[in-house]
A and B are shown apart, each in its own frame.
Chain A
Amino acid sequence: MLANAWIIPLLPLIAFVAIVFFTNRNQKLSSLISIGAVCLSFVISLFVIASVLKNPVASEFELTWVDLPGFKIKVGMLIDPLTAVMLFVVCTVSMLVHIYSVGYMAGDPRFSRFFSFLSLFTFSMLGLVIANNFLEIFIFWELVGLTSYLLIGFWFEKKIASDAGKKAFITTRTGDLGFIIGILILTTAAGTFNFKEMFHAVEAGHIPFGLLTVGAIFLFAGAVGKSAQFPLHVWLPDAMEGPTPVSALIHAATMVAAGVYLVARTITIYLAAENAALVVAIIGCFTAFLAASIALVQNDIKRVLAYSTISQLGYMIMVLGLGGFTAGSFHLYTHAFFKALLFLGAGSVIHAMHTNDIWDMGGLYRKMKITAITFIIASLSISGIFPLSGFWSKDEILAVASHYHNPIFLIVGVLVAGMTAFYMFRLCFVTFFGQPRDQEKFDHAHESPKVMTIPLMILAFLSIVAGWVGIPWLKHGYCSFVFHHEPHHVEPNFLLMIISTLVALSGIYLAYAMYYKGSISPEKLKAKFAFPYKVLYNKYYFDELYHAVIVNPLLKLCDFLFTKLDVGVVDWLVNGVGNFTVFLSDVKEWFDSRIVDGAVNGLAYVTKGIGSGLRRVQTGQLQNYAFVIFFGLVLIILFKLS
Chain B
Amino acid sequence: MVGLNHYLVLSTILFCIGIFGVLTRRNAIGILMSIELMFNAVNINFVAFSKFVTPTDFVGQIFAIFVITIAAAEATVGLAIVLLIYRNFKGINVDNINIMKW
Contact = CB atoms under 8 A, between A and B. Distances in A.
B98 A621 contact: yes
Nearest to A623: B23
Interface residues of A, dominant DSSP: helix
Given A623-B22, A623-B23, A630-B23, A618 B101 contact: yes
Interface residues of A, number: 10
Given A630-B19, A630-B23, A622 B94 contact: yes
Contacts of A618: 100-102
B97 to A, nearest CB: 8
Interface string B89-102: 00000110111111
B51 to A, nearest CB: 25
Contact of B95 (A615, A621, A627): A621
Contacts of B101: 618-621
B61 to A, nearest CB: 27
B98 A627 contact: no
Nearest to A619: B101
B19 A620 contact: no
A114 B19 CA distance: 108
A626 interface: yes
B22 A626 contact: yes
A618 B101 CA distance: 5
Nearest to B28: A622
Contacts of B22: 623, 626
A627 B24 CA distance: 9
A620 B89 CA distance: 15
Contact of A626 (B23, B95, B99, B102): B23
Contact of A620 (B24, B31, B99): B99
Interface string B54-68: 000000000000000
A466 B24 CA distance: 134
A620 B100 contact: yes
A632 to B, nearest CB: 13
A100 B36 CA distance: 122
Contacts of A615: 102
A623 B94 CA distance: 8
B36 to A, nearest CB: 15
Interface in A591-624: 615, 618-623
Nearest to B100: A620
B4 to A, nearest CB: 20
B98 A620 contact: yes
Contacts of B24: 623
A631 to B, nearest CB: 9
Most buried by A among B24, B95, B102: B102
A622 B19 CA distance: 13
B98 A619 contact: yes
Contacts of A620: 97-102
B68 to A, nearest CB: 23
Nearest to B98: A620
A626 B38 CA distance: 14
A626 B20 CA distance: 11
B5 to A, nearest CB: 18
Contacts of B98: 619-621
A615 B102 CA distance: 6
Contacts of B31: 623
A622 B24 CA distance: 11
A597 B24 CA distance: 49
Contacts of A626: 22-23
A619 B24 CA distance: 15
Contacts of A623: 22-24, 31, 94
A3 B4 CA distance: 135
Interface in B72-102: 94-95, 97-102
A613 to B, nearest CB: 12
A630 B21 CA distance: 13
Interface string B12-37: 00000001001110000001000000
Contacts of B99: 620
25 contacts: A615-B102, A618-B100, A618-B101, A618-B102, A619-B98, A620-B97, A620-B98, A620-B99, A620-B100, A620-B101, A620-B102, A621-B94, A621-B95, A621-B98, A621-B101, A622-B94, A622-B97, A622-B100, A623-B22, A623-B31, A623-B94, A626-B22, A627-B23, A630-B19, A630-B23
Interface of B: 19, 22-24, 31, 94-95, 97-102
Interface of A: 615, 618-623, 626-627, 630
Given A618-B100, A618-B101, A622-B100, 13 more contacts: A615-B102, A619-B98, A620-B98, A620-B99, A620-B101, A621-B94, A621-B95, A621-B101, A622-B94, A623-B23, A626-B22, A626-B23, A630-B19
Query: 9 nearest interchain CB pairs?
Result: A620-B101, A620-B98, A620-B100, A618-B101, A615-B102, A627-B23, A618-B102, A619-B101, A623-B23
